[in-house]
Structure 1
Amino acid sequence: MKKNELMTIVSVTGNLLSKLLPVFLLAYCLGSCSNEQVNDNEEQVLTKLSANSTKIGISSVSASTSQSPNVSGNTLDGSTSSRWSGFGDGASITYDLGSSANLDYVKIAFYKGDSRKTKFEVWVGNSTSNLTKIKSKTSAGSTSDFETFDLPNTNARYIRVIGKGYILNSGGSTTFWNSITKFEAWGSGGSVVVPPTGGDYPADVLGINSNTWKINSFTGSPGSSATYYDDITDASGISYNTYSDDNYFNTDGEWVFFKCYRGLGGSANSQNPRVELREMNNGNLASWSGDSGTHTMEWTVQVNQLPQDTDGDGGVLCFGQIHGPSTNSDGVEVDDVVRVQFIGDENQSSGSVSLKISGYVTEKQGGSQTFSGYSLDTTYNCKLVYSGGYIELYMNGSSVFRKEMEVDDLSENYFKVGNYLQSVKGASYTGSYGLVRIKNLSVNHN
Structure 2
Amino acid sequence: MSTPARFDRGHTDDLMTFLAASPTPYHAVANAAERLEKAGFRQVLETDAWEGTTGGKYVLRGGALIAWYVPEGAAPHTPFRIVGAHTDSPNLRVKPLPDTGAYGWRQVAVEVYGGPLLNTWLDRDLGLAGRLSLRDGTHRLINVDRPLMRVPQLAVHLDRGVNTDGLKLNPQRHMQPIWGLGEAEEGDLIRFVAEESGLDASDVTGWDLMAHSVEPPAYLGRDRELMAGPRMDNLLSVHAGTAALAAVAGSAGSGTALPYIPVLAAFDHEESGSQSDTGADGPLLGTVMERSVLARGGSYEDRARALAGTVCLSSDTGHAVHPNYAERHDPTHHPRANGGPILKVNVNMRYATDGGGRAVFAAACERAGVPWQTFVSNNSMPCGTTIGPITAARHGIKTVDIGAAIVSMHSARELCGADDPFLLANALAAFLEG
Structure 2 length as normaliser, TM-score?
0.25
Q: Which has the higher contact order (CA 8 A, sep 6+)?
A: 2
Structure 1 length as normaliser, TM-score?
0.25
More helix by share: 2
Rg comparison, structure with higher value: 1
